A and B are shown apart, each in its own frame.
Chain A
Amino acid sequence: AQSVAQPEDQVNVAEGNPLTVKCTYSVSGNPYLFWYVQYPNRGLQFLLKYITGDNLVKGSYGFEAEFNKSQTSFHLKKPSALVSDSALYFCAVPIAGNTGKLIFGQGTTLQVKP
């Protein structure tokens, strides 16, 4: 069964420092992986996805994610955090097949302090 896990409930970083939000996956077949962000009282916004190809995926708002097959990880990164990046972040994996069902991790709250 497809699943993702986010080992940290909360990540705290200082503004201007690099940030990493961790995600590990367990999938059968080729992994397809997504990152979403949710701001308070808002729906989820798509950040980036890994389908195949380069292990470093660039996405919206300066975020990128590194796919590591040997460690079954897909960590979200940003070189320099902004206070406005503070939000709830989810990684997700679709179930096998071309369908609109995503399995989400439990979410990681990112707190960026000025």
Chain B
Amino acid sequence: KAGVTQTPRYLIKTRGQQVTLSCSPISGHRSVSWYQQTPGQGLQFLFEYFSETQRNKGNFPGRFSGRQFSNSRSEMNVSTLELGDSALYLCASSLVSTGAFYNEQFFGPGTRLTVL
């Protein structure tokens, strides 16, 4: 079974631009979560989508948004980029099943975003 894929792997943008990152979950996984990883702040949760609905949101400004499509693929968008948005953005998918809590998340390789 193919793992979680993220595109693109690397991005370089300038301040003020916007960016869209894409994530394809493992087949059959309906939950997709996004995380930001930086050396200073570590791994921080951005949001989670399940069945095309945002189910959870982390403590990030409204410039960070996302969506999920009917095939469970997800995108996240960052508008008006700032230097501090430079990070590794990780997507994770998990299987959601009735009665089973906290199934492990499977992570993609990440998108390395550099804002100049």
Contact = CB atoms under 8 A, between A and B. Distances in A.
B56 A100 contact: yes
Would you call the interface of chain A mostly helix, strand, loop, or mixed?
Answer: loop
Interface in A22-70: 32, 34, 36, 41-46, 49, 51
29 contacts: A42-B109, A42-B110, A43-B4, A43-B6, A43-B107, A44-B107, A46-B104, A46-B106, A49-B102, A49-B104, A51-B101, A90-B43, A94-B102, A95-B56, A98-B101, A99-B48, A99-B55, A99-B56, A100-B31, A100-B48, A100-B55, A100-B105, A101-B33, A101-B48, A102-B33, A102-B43, A102-B45, A105-B42, A107-B42
A106 B44 CA distance: 10
A102 B31 CA distance: 13
A43 B56 contact: no
A104 B43 contact: yes
A87 interface: no
Nearest to A45: B107
A9 to B, nearest CB: 11
Given A43-B6, A45-B107, A46-B107, 5 more contacts: A43-B90, A43-B92, A100-B96, A102-B43, A103-B45
Contacts of B102: 32, 34, 49, 51, 94, 98
Contacts of A104: 42-43
Q: How large is the interface on B (under 10, 10 to 19, 20 to 34, 35 or more residues)?
A: 20 to 34
Identify the 10 closest CB pairs spanning chains A and B, nearest first: A43-B107, A104-B43, A100-B48, A100-B33, A44-B107, A100-B31, A32-B102, A46-B104, A43-B109, A101-B56
B107 A34 contact: no
Contacts of B94: 100
Q: Which of A41, A44, A51, A100 has the most CB of B within 10 A?
A: A100
Nearest to B49: A100
Interface string B32-48: 11010000001101001
Contact of B50 (A100, A102, A107): A100
B48 to A, nearest CB: 4
A90 B90 CA distance: 14
B104 A32 contact: no
